[in-house]
Structure 1
């Protein structure tokens, strides 16, 4: 019984994180999509974007920083409402974002390696 309640809560947290991320991300969608398709940015399992290419231009690195700052703020708000740690929300969102990565996009695996879908 306790496990079932916890599972439902985790699913609600993950769903809420992705819904808010979807709304916030619309402003960055074109730039993020372009950077992902160019192989410069990818999704990390911790819920944040990462710089894939060592030679990524400063603009791409700045974009990653801005996106991650926005994600961190959204995760913090969700975590506060749900009474859980920010890392829990970020990890759940990260798992979903990695699962949703499209063909050709880069994801950072649990061992710290970038893999192309």
Structure 2
């Protein structure tokens, strides 16, 4: 297998694993304040690095939710990166793009300049 084919194959596997994580693991998380409600209220948004961010004015309960989910995402990204022998920041960036792409209209996402915008 040539170097290019190996890189492309690894990228496809990595993308599939990140996609599986985003699709299966995240919706199963359960909190007093759930993620869908926090996003709908405009308290939480998806960042480009694969993690959640708080929007100004978010209540303390939203901060706890973000901290918990980000810790779980960090562990999952590290596992995917380790399994595929790729840098964790590559996994984070892929996950971030997938999460932003899948964000519901009207929810906050972070743009390339680091500003919160409504999708």
Q: TM-score, normalised by structure 1?
A: 0.90
Gaps of 5+ in 2: none
How many matched pairs? 116
Gaps of 5+ in 1: none
2:9 aligns with 8
Give the alignment partner of residue 48 of structure 1, picking from 35, 46, 51: 51
Separation of aligned partners in 2, 1:101 and 1:69: 20
Separation of aligned partners in 2, 1:31 and 1:49: 13
Give the alignment partner of residue 114 of structure 2, picking from 99, 112, 115: 112
Q: TM-score, normalised by structure 2?
A: 0.88
Separation of aligned partners in 1, 2:30 and 2:107: 17
Give the alignment partner of residue 103 of structure 2, picking from 101, 104, 116: 101
Separation of aligned partners in 1, 2:45 and 2:9: 29
Mean Cα displacement is larger for which, 27-36 or 65-74? 27-36
